[in-house]
């Protein structure tokens, strides 16, 4: 069954049942509080399996003139119905050992009675019960379809609890909460359906058929109930209810409801006079009621409360997701005719992210006067004047196409374009998933196999909708077509930072690359480590600039390239020794060197060396290998002192430096390829490889590592990319 059927079923049922689900969820939250509140009275009896029924009956008869009945609640409370001196019936909670009254059974609070009536029937009696049962059934279907969608998103049922892709709040927590709460929600819905079916007599009969048991006339009679074997051997843990005889007449029996059957017991001999097993339906109904209400179990009640509350959140977040998806997927108004356009943008998008990028790209091309047509991959057709086709597509689940792209492979094979066309494919995905950009790879290969198409740029993958990566591709595309394409950056929600004072301890002069080192000391004690980021606010500007931190001897060391128009770099270079300014630590845990890392390879270019200077200077890496790329040997001199100390302080420290403007004129990926055996050994031995620097460097280095891992038996490049062995912080 296709993704769209599951999604549309999930959404349609949620819309139809939304009002009723709100009512059921709110009343469910209220009713989930009741067993929790009830349990706090403290009347629960521990170890009911150690309390003989004989002890409790004897204690009750000694304490009260007449006892009508006894009930053991699922909460562990023991309740007795007794007759007072005023001949009034009184329900009390008792100590089963002594018969002492612990408290009276209070009248149920009105709020719970009201909530129960609304929850069960909406005050509409049978009609209301029918609607509640129907909504329970719809909720069950919604939960099941949601589970299928969750499994598809995560890459299969076995991967439900793998890392969740970063996204906006509503989408992220719709996924996070659903995988933890889908079981309680399914139980709530299923038991709701079951209990409704029971009320409408749709289930088999639940009456107990009593069978008389032959009784011996010579059975021993006992004066004291405490001596009767049945009552001595039966504990309160086995009891649901006990109905006492009205008199001492031997023909009056104890009617006892056990967990699985009902029995009538002779009050003098203890012999079972008749018995009847509960039908399965009765036992299932009892279990359904406990599971649906949480009665007797505080932990389960709390889970049900959270599940009921989560339904409200799922409704809210689901509608937000739908609105965002429709907003992003909404077609561009006033597009030219498809056969008049030289640029065609084809989109495959499940959550709307790829569509958002495609629309920004469309707007940029339109702004420079190009005729552009944007459509879904499913609507691919003949384009009479197309010279360039650009594909933006995400991947869903285990390498599946998005809903609006699933027909493309079949359609593409039937369409013949009248002209030769250049094409580019941009894949959107997350390295947290094993099938990273798999569908984009398939689309790229299928188009490339057609002689009418010429690949303009290699397949470009974008992780976590990173806009800076997209801008890198945009530069490459602009260079190919010969003009610059302006693309509006998305709005970013501003993060709140806790600013503290920092003192400038040292600032070096500019080197040949206009790069300098800045050493800072926090005025108060704060936690930070190499790999974290320092957020600065030049001239109290609201726009934050971030720099990767090296922790050296308790200070912060920054490596900064001064740009002529760079507000952040010029602000930092303008600071004088002894001067104080405000900045904030932005903790960056995904780029921390793992504790007890035995083998570590650091790869950087330019100022990206900064965090690695801290990692090697603090001896946090046992075996550290640093690859660094710069323009000239003079570029490296800025870091020589720290690198020299690292050589003497670390027994197993190696440096591989490359210079692009002198000597062999190598780039860092060339050095990585030369040391392929070292790279391969580190990866196979579960070592850590960390990259910091430019995005272009990251792409080039990862391309080389992919070649190195070709044919490797221990780990594939795809598995390495999504493992904790690879850590990147590039820009």
Please give the pLDDT value at position 1: 37
Going by C-alpha positions, the residue among 624, 669, 670 that lies closest to residue 645 is 624
**Which residue(s) pair with 690 in the sheet?**
602, 727
Q: Which CATH architecture does the domain made up of 330-481 adopt?
A: 3-Layer(aba) Sandwich (3.40)
| Per-residue confidence (pLDDT) for residue 387, from 0 to 100 | 95
Which DSSP letter does residue 379 get? G
CATH 3.40.50.1000 correct for 496-592: no
Give yes or no for a contact between 391 and 424, defined as CB atoms under 8 angstroms apart: yes
Q: What is the pLDDT of residue 328?
A: 55
Instruction: Establish whether domains 496-592 and 594-731 are of one fold.
Output: no
CA distance 215 to 169: 70
Structure tokens at 92: 């009390």
Contacts with 75 (C-beta within 8 Å, 6 or more apart), sequence order: 35, 38, 39, 44, 295, 296
pLDDT attached to residue 643: 85
Whether 206 and 282 have beta carbons less than 8 Å apart is answered as yes
pTM of the model: 0.55
Q: For residue range 246-261, what is the model confidence (pLDDT) as tens digits?
A: 888 888 899 999 999 9
**What pLDDT does 2 receive?**
45
Q: What is the pLDDT of residue 368?
A: 93
Q: What is the number of other CB atoms lying within 10 angstroms of the CB of residue 551?
A: 20
Backbone angles phi, psi at 490, to 5 degrees: -70, 155
Given CATH 3.40.50.80, say whether it is the number of domain 594-731: yes
- Strand 272-277 to strand 211-212: parallel, antiparallel, or no bridges (unpaired)? antiparallel
Q: Are 624 and 666 in contact (CB under 8 A)?
A: no
Burial class (CB in 10 A: 0-12, 13-18, 19+), 390: buried
How much is the pLDDT for 420?
Answer: 95
Listed as ranges, residues in the chain with pLDDT below 70 are 1-8, 10-11, 155, 163, 165-167, 214-216, 325-333, 397-398, 432, 491-494, 541-543, 619-622, 646-651
In 3D space, the residue among 377, 466, 456, 397 whose CA is nearest the CA of residue 428 turns out to be: 466
Return the domain boundaries, the chain. 3-29+111-204+288-320, 46-94+211-278, 330-481, 496-592, 594-731
d(Cα 466, Cα 473) in Å, to the nearest integer? Answer: 11
Residue 320's pLDDT is 85
Question: Is residue 347 within 8 Å of 377, Cβ to Cβ?
Answer: yes
Query: Measured on CA atoms in the order 351, 352, 357, 358, is the torsion positive or negative?
Result: positive
């Amino acid at each position: 069954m296709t993704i769209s059927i599951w999604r549309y079923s999930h959404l349609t049922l949620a819309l139809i049942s939304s009002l009723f689900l709100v009512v059921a969820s709110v009343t469910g939250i209220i009713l989930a509080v009741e067993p929790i509140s009830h349990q706090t009275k403290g009347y629960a009896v521990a170890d009911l399996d150690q309390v003989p029924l004989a002890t409790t009956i004897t204690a009750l008869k000694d304490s009260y003139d007449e006892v009508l009945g006894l009930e053991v609640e699922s909460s562990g409370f023991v309740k007795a119905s007794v007759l007072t001196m005023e001949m009034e019936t009184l329900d009390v909670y008792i100590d089963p050992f002594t018969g002492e009254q612990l408290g009276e059974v209070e009248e149920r609070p009105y709020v719970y009675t009201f909530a129960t009536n609304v929850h069960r029937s909406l005050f509409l009696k049978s009609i209301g019960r029918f609607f509640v049962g129907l909504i329970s059934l719809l909720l069950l279907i919604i939960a099941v379809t949601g589970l299928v969608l969750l499994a598809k998103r995560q890459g299969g049922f076995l991967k439900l609890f793998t890392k969740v892709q970063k996204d906006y709040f509503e989408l992220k927590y719709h996924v996070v909460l659903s995988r933890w709460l889908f079981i309680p929600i399914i139980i709530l819905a299923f038991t709701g359906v079951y209990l409704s079916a029971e009320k409408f007599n749709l289930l088999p009969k639940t009456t107990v058929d009593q069978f008389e048991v032959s009784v011996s006339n010579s059975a021993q009679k006992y004066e004291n109930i405490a001596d009767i074997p049945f009552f001595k051997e039966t504990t309160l843990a086995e009891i649901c209810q006990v109905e006492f005889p009205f008199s001492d007449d031997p023909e009056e029996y104890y009617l006892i409801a056990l967990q699985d059957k009902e029995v009538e017991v002779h009050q003098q001999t203890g012999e079972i006079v008749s018995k009847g097993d509960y039908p399965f339906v009765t036992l299932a109904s009892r279990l359904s009621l406990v599971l649906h209400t949480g009665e007797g179990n505080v932990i389960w009640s709390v889970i049900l409360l959270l599940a009921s509350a989560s339904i409200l959140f799922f409704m809210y977040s689901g509608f937000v997701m739908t609105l965002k998806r429709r907003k992003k997927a909404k077609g561009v108004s006033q597009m030219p005719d498809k056969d008049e356009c030289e640029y065609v943008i084809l989109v495959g998008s499940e959550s709307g992210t790829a569509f958002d990028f495609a629309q920004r790209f469309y707007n940029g091309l339109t702004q420079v006067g190009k005729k552009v047509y944007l459509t879904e991959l499913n609507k691919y057709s003949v384009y009479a004047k197309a010279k360039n086709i650009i594909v933006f597509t995400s991947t869903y689940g285990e390498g599946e196409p998005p809903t609006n792209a699933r027909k493309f492979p079949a359609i593409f094979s039937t369409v013949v374009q009248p002209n030769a066309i250049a094409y580019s494919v941009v894949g959107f995905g997350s390295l947290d998933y094993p099938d990273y950009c798999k569908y984009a790879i398939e689309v790229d290969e299928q188009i490339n196999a057609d002689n009418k198409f010429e690949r303009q740029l290699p397949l470009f993958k974008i992780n976590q909708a990173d806009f800076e990566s997209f801008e890198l591709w945009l530069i490459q595309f602009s260079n190919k077509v010969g003009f610059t394409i302006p693309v509006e950056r998305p709005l970013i929600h501003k993060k709140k930072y806790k600013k503290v004072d920092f003192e400038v301890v040292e600032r070096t002069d500019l080197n040949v690359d206009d790069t300098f080192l800045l050493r800072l000391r926090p005025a108060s004690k704060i936690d930070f480590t190499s790999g974290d980021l320092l957020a600065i606010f030049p001239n109290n500007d609201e726009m934050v600039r971030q720099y990767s931190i090296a922790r050296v001897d308790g200070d912060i060391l920054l490596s900064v390239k001064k740009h002529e128009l760079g507000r952040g770099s010029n602000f930092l270079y303008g600071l004088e020794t002894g001067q104080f300014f405000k900045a904030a630590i932005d903790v960056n845990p995904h780029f921390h060197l793992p504790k007890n890392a035995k083998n570590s390879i650091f790869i950087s270019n330019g100022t990206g060396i900064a965090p690695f200077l801290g990692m090697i200077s603090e001896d946090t890496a046992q075996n550290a290998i640093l690859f660094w790329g710069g323009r000239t040997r003079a570029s490296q001199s800025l870091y020589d002192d720290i690198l020299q100390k690292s050589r003497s302080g670390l027994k197993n420290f190696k440096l591989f430096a490359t210079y692009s403007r002198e000597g062999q004129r190598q780039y860092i990926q060339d050095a990585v390829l030369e040391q392929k055996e070292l790279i391969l050994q580190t990866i196979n031995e579960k070592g850590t490889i960390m990259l910091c620097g430019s995005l272009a460097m990251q792409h080039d280095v990862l391309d080389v590592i992919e070649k190195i891992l070709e044919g490797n038996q221990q780990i594939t490049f795809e598995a390495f990319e999504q493992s904790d062995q690879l850590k990147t912080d590039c820009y």
